[in-house]
Structures are given as C-alpha cells and as structure tokens.
Amino acid sequence: MSKIPVGILGATGMVGQMYVHLLSDHPWFEAAYAAASPRSAGKPYREAVAGRWHAPGGWGGAGELIVEDANDLSKALDARRRGRCAFVFSALEMGKEETRRLEEAYAGAGIPVVSNASAHRWTADVPMLIAEVNPHHADIIPAQRKNRGWDTGFIAVKPNCSLQSYLTPLWALMEAGYEIKRLTVTTMQAVSGAGYPGVPSWDMIDNLVPYIEGEEEKSEREPLKILGAIKEGVFVNAPGPVISAHCNRVPVTNGHTACVSLEFGAKKPSIEEAKRIWAEFRALPQERGFPMAPPQPIILREEPDRPQPRKDRDAGKAMAVTLGRIRPCSVLDLRFTGLSHNTVRGAAGGGILNAELLTHKGYLG
C-alpha cells in the first residue's frame, strides 16, 4: 500500500516536531507538507527547527521540505493538487478564534483536519476522540459535513493532554458496568505541555506552579463530551461523573501524572476486580492492530513507588497509560496514580491514532 501524504500545521513546534518524528517511519502516513508561522515560512524544515529540535531521534525525510505559511491556504491546496497533502494534522498555537477560523477554512476547502488545538473541542458537531474510549463519535462526520455543506473536509479533535492519564482507566471501569459518580484528580504536568520555550526556567527550577490557565476547566468538562452521546447530529454531554481538578506544572520534561480518588455508584468493584478490568482492557485500536496503538493500553505496576515519569512515560510505545498505587480511598472508594506521555499519547501519537481510526472508518485516504 502506498503511504497517504499528510500535512502538519505547526510542524516546527513541540507537538509538530513529535508528529514529524513519529511519521518518519509510519506504515500508513508520510509527512509530505509542513507549515508554521510566517517566521518559519520559506525555510527548509531542518533550518526552521535548528537549535530547537526537542523530539527524540530525527526528522526522517522531512528535513528538506520547505515550510509554508499555515495561514496561506492556497499553498496547502496546491500541495493537495500535487498529491502531497491528503489531510492535515493541526498543531497550531495561536489565538483560539484564529485557529477556529483557519481549521474551518481548511475543512471547508476539502482538506480534513485532525487537530490537537482546543479551538474546536466544544463545537457541537466536532468529535473529540480518544480512540479506545469513544471511536463511535467519529460517525458524526457525515452530519458535520451536511450541517456545513462540506464535501470531503471535516474537523476531528483530540482532548487536552492532562485527561489521558486517567480517562481511559475510568472508561474501562464504566464499560465493565461500574457507575462513577464523582472524583477528584490532582495532575502534575510536564513543562513540554506548555510548548517551547514554554514556562520560564526561573519559574520551574526548584519549584512547581499550582496553576495552569484553563486546564482545570478542561479536565472537568472535556470528559463529559467524550462520554456523551450523539443526538440529532450534535453531541449531548454525559451527566457525570462530577470532577474536581487541581492542575500543577512540575519540573518534569515529559509525562503527565494524575492522582485520582473516585466514588462509585451502588455497585463497587473490589481492588482486585478493578485491577483485573484494567489489565484485561482492550479496545478497537488493539483489536484492529492500528500501528500507533499500544498492545496493552493500561499497564499496571505493583511497586509502591510507581508510576514515575522518567521510568514509565515510554511504556507501550509511549502510548500506554501506566497505573499504580491502586488502593482503597478513606474518603471516597478507590484511588490510583496514572501516568501518560503528554507529547506522544497526549498530543502527536494520540492524533496519529485518531487518524488511523478515521482511515479505518473510511473518512480519510
């Protein structure tokens, strides 16, 4: 099978670099178009990222791509005509309104957008996908196209990176028949989550910052859309669980950690039953063998001091959630610590897995 040529908007940033790196040996997709701000436009990719390359390994064949201005849609349309841009991954960091307009312009011109940006997460007909949790939400795409008069284009997004460390484990318990009524989550989020150069070193060394703008609202609200239903061509949020979030920035390079305490409905699993559900959890990406899918989406650690970012963030191709410290909670029912890689599972790897899901469903390629 020849590879599908894809574009990356924001290709020079922290997430864009991870896309370029992960796509350098992807069996279905190849990075064939790169775009960023006017500051990078016109430069070969390797020159545009010189001195600020933070992804592991290299950029494969993308080094010689000439970076285009992401605001200039005509360049992407020209690349599409030349068979170089079947769809785009959006990893733009710009104003929310500007991002919303730009992503709509690409989709309206026929170029599907698989986005990491938050601009469209609350748009009523845009799916917010975690491939293991709500793959069926992709099936709103025909209604989205109809609502907007789009033919081949559409927008699909992934949620905030802080959710990835705990929402899949919560979903595994819910799918096994356990209602979760409410939970508290305290996240300890890596500096790479703020992009590059991100938080000043003076604020991070020998310190932590107990505030990330907008993050607690995202952590509390986005799960309700992901767990929600499609009704008459739009999403209706799930009524619960009620979530209380504390989000902290900590001096870790990669890997978001989340400490969760949760309360079940009337039916409560034992600790051993919860562990069994998590260890055995598999979903569509595993069943279909999607290239970016971790073979085991939830990995359990029994050691009392795990998971740890440096030791566990790369588990399962950096796409797995590692859980540990699973024990009874003296206030609610059960508590655990979850960890996932924020720029892979929480950003570029999660975006690629969503594109694999959308390809499998026939919406891409």
Does position 195 interact with ligand NAP (CB under 6 A)? The reply is yes
What value, to the nearest 5°, has the Cα angle with vertex 61 and ends 158 and 102? 35
Is 256 an annotated catalytic residue? Answer: yes
Token reading at 27? 């069996």
Nearest approach, Cβ of residue 306 and ligand NAP (Å): 22
Which positions from 27 through 56 interact with ligand NAP, judged by CB under 6 A?
Answer: 36-37, 39-40
Nearest approach, Cβ of residue 297 and ligand NAP (Å): 18
Which residue lies nearer to ligand NAP by CB, 116 or 354?
116
Does position 192 interact with ligand NAP (CB under 6 A)? The reply is yes
Task: Select which of 26, 137, 256, 341 is catalytic.
Answer: 256
- Cα separation, 234 vs 341, in Å, equals 31
Q: Which of 112, 193, 285, 338 binds ligand NAP (CB under 6 A)?
A: 193
Which residue lies nearer to ligand NAP by CB, 97 or 151?
97
Task: Select which of 137, 161, 247, 360 is catalytic.
Answer: 161
Q: Lay out the site mask for ligand NAP across 59-78 (x = CB under 6 A, - = otherwise).
A: -----------xx-------
User: Which among 304, 271, 279, 310 has a CA at the least distance from the CA of 188?
Assistant: 310
Classify residue 320 as exposed, middle or buried by CB count within 10 Å of its CB (0-12, 13-18, 19+): buried
Does position 22 interact with ligand NAP (CB under 6 A)? The reply is no
- Cα separation, 301 vs 272, in Å, equals 13
* CA 301 and chain centroid, separation: 23
- Cα separation, 181 vs 152, in Å, equals 40
User: Which among 5, 68, 10, 24 has a CA at the least distance from the CA of 42?
Assistant: 68
Token reading at 64? 């010689």
Nearest approach, Cβ of residue 64 and ligand NAP (Å): 18
Q: Which of 75, 342, 355, 357 binds ligand NAP (CB under 6 A)?
A: 342
Q: Which of 5, 6, 7, 15 binds ligand NAP (CB under 6 A)?
A: 15
Which positions from 104 through 143 interact with ligand NAP, judged by CB under 6 A?
Answer: 116-118
Nearest approach, Cβ of residue 218 and ligand NAP (Å): 10
Residues 6+ apart with CB under 8 A from 105: 73
Does position 196 interact with ligand NAP (CB under 6 A)? The reply is yes
User: Which among 5, 92, 118, 105 has a CA at the least distance from the CA of 40?
Assistant: 92
Is 137 an annotated catalytic residue? Answer: no
- Cα separation, 17 vs 26, in Å, equals 14
Stretch in the footprint of ligand NAP (CB under 6 A) among 8-16, 57-65, 103-111, 281-289: 8-16
User: Which among 56, 65, 77, 1 has a CA at the least distance from the CA of 33?
Assistant: 65
Q: Which residues of 48-57 are buried (b: 16+ CB within 10 A; e: fewer)?
A: bbeeebebee
Which residue lies nearer to ligand NAP by CB, 249 or 335?
249
Nearest approach, Cβ of residue 47 and ligand NAP (Å): 12
Does position 349 interact with ligand NAP (CB under 6 A)? The reply is no
Nearest approach, Cβ of residue 50 and ligand NAP (Å): 11
For helices 14-23 and 349-360, give the axis angle rounded to 10 degrees.
Answer: 50
Q: Which residue is nearest to ligand NAP (CB)?
A: 13
Contacting positions for ligand NAP (CB under 6 A): 10-16, 36-37, 39-40, 70-71, 91-94, 116-118, 161, 192-193, 195-196, 342-343, 346-347
